[in-house]
A and B are shown apart, each in its own frame.
Chain A
């Protein structure tokens, strides 16, 4: 039986359920489809093997991975968040010994350092540090990816989580396009985020579930939108629930404490709590400055919430304005307010968009769709 190996920088365990949990969802689905998949986490620490939900996880450094690959033949090695260390084991094999390789490109590992500029403009030392890392970290990673995409001694395919992520972020960063690539989105789990029909009153209930750890999550825009909405006559009819945690939570939400209808829930929201929150709301206010896909928006759509967000990065590939959600330009608070205003004034459209959103996102990124495409890439089409 053919064996497959997944290598990543992290994998969920009982101690850390949410560390790259989307990888576990994939591995379980591959197993359900009959693939034998082993998992290795690249680490410099000495960690004993762990077992999580039927998956055996091994922890190795790059040299151990090299020995392991010499001793174990895999048809395909799948890599997530690839870097030179992770690839060392492949390079240590002769050309004839090398397995097929699939590299998933998710985000930060394949983007220009300056795309998230707002995350290091808090103070000068942050900016200086980013500029230092430009030469020591970001540039070597770029060179590594460029080489990986142009080498002719590898049987390698690349998977991008969205077309726009590839075209807007990765391609111009690396400067080349690999010969073999496929666009496959991250899974939006329809079993967990089940569609729940919304009524007209649900459009008055607006939630936001975002990390408050960095400015790309644009929670400051959420706060500005609410403040602008407070000038509307119908504001008191609206109810907002803001969930999340991080160093920016208090800074950003302090100004919202004046509103009785804005409820602040500071704390990390576990994934299994999210569907319950989705069930109680009709609009997902999730502005963004940077997204390769926008998974949390997709999950809300799957549950039947209408997303209100920005037309940046990969997001417009999943949300069609006024059909499956509401899109505003980058950082455009007024347009976002107008979009919520539109939903308030058009309850029928809201209900239609709610249904459309769920159907559309499941068609694009539902479990079956994604896994079938991935298995096709992993198993077939190798020369």
Chain B
């Protein structure tokens, strides 16, 4: 469980990154913070592992207030995946994955055995273990990033636009894969993205944020799609692109948006016209 209680982050120059934010992410759920860059979503995420200290308010993980915990130990019990993959460029794949268990005092042998298990879990072949991050593809690097975040078997995963730097094909593949391993692992995940489709695909709960991490709307993807709270949310999630109807063109029933652009094919032949 992750809980934010009225957190505020104001920088010394008066910039308000987070005005007043509260949220509870129940255990084993995926919550997505969705917003444009600069809305404070990454700041919120970094409060969980104390990379950013709130000016006021509290963050709790499970039954601990994070400000009561030693930051170094706290970070070792939270998995963290960054956009860049953030791997250590001078360590081989297997050493990168073994980082957190080693920092936590595991022996090298045990940490490497654990790292090999995880490489298998994230679907990477044995042959990448000895390679350095710069020798991997973008998609492989992100998988290694996830493997490393899982290595110490944390309850909580923080994912900061983890698939933002890879091409759309690989991104779709990684998203599907994440859903699949989440079925098995059931971690509590806080996921940050500016990609609406990604948010709706992955999140059980989605928060649309405006500047200052103000919650414009919070709900399931279906709730937000069906009842956008206001114009901001309506436009952010795609505006007229989300108003779909079907049309028959050249004998096929197509799904078309409000501007007449084709969005897909209707596979239900008896559906209403």
Do A and B pair up? The answer is: no
Binding site for A on B (CB under 8 A): none
Binding site for B on A (CB under 8 A): none
